[in-house]
Amino acid sequence: MDIASVTLRKPGAEDGYPVNKLISETPELDSNSCYCNLLQCSHFSDTSIVAEYDGDVVGFISGYHKPQSTSTLFIWQVAIASKARGQGLASKMLHVLIERKDNVLVSHIETTITAENSASWALFNRLAKDRDTTLERSLIFNRADHFNDKHDSEFLARIGPLLR
């Protein structure tokens, strides 16, 4: 698969099911209901992005502006199909998403990542380096206190301020 042939675009309601399928085929991610992904694709299309190759959804990043801080873009999930991994697609998608006019006032990116998710840490550390800024890491959701010991602790990665 040639990354130059991938189309990056805003998602729409019609992408809800293919995105749900992609996420369910990505073992590192928590699955959502199809309805949840439909809402992400329709209600949060300005802050999310789809990668399409040869008619198939091969990448999806969901995000939203934090209600408490609209200058922060929270990235909920990053899903890349196995056939599209290792080519820098997720990085390219993040940069395109940040550069959208809908995100012109965004000064920081936040996401949560489990400690052992090395691919996500590498992606967001690369984003900080590419934007010549810092990534701060702190515990946000503890395994025992927030997940009843049924999910790994989540760490907040905060990147910024973003340089444009």
Does residue 163 register a pLDDT over 80? no
pLDDT value of position 118: 94
Residue 79, domain extent: 3-160
CATH number at residue 125: 3.40.630.30
pTM of the entire predicted model:
0.94
The domain total for the chain is: 1
- Cβ neighbour number for residue 94 with a 10 Å cutoff: 25
DSSP per-residue codes, the chain: --GGG-EEE---GGGHHHHHHHHHT-TTSPP--HHHHHHHHHHTGGG-EEEEETTEEEEEEEEEEETTEEEEEEEEEEEE-GGGTTSSHHHHHHHHHHHSGGGTT--EEEEEEETT-HHHHHHHHHHHHHTT-EEEEEEEE-HHHHHTTSS--EEEEEEESPP-
Could you report the per-residue pLDDT of 56-101, keeping only the tens digit for each? Answer: 999 999 999 999 999 999 999 999 999 999 999 999 999 999 999 9
Using CA atoms, how far apart are residues 102 and 59, in angstroms rounded to an integer?
20
Confidence bin at 109 (pLDDT 50/70/90) = very high
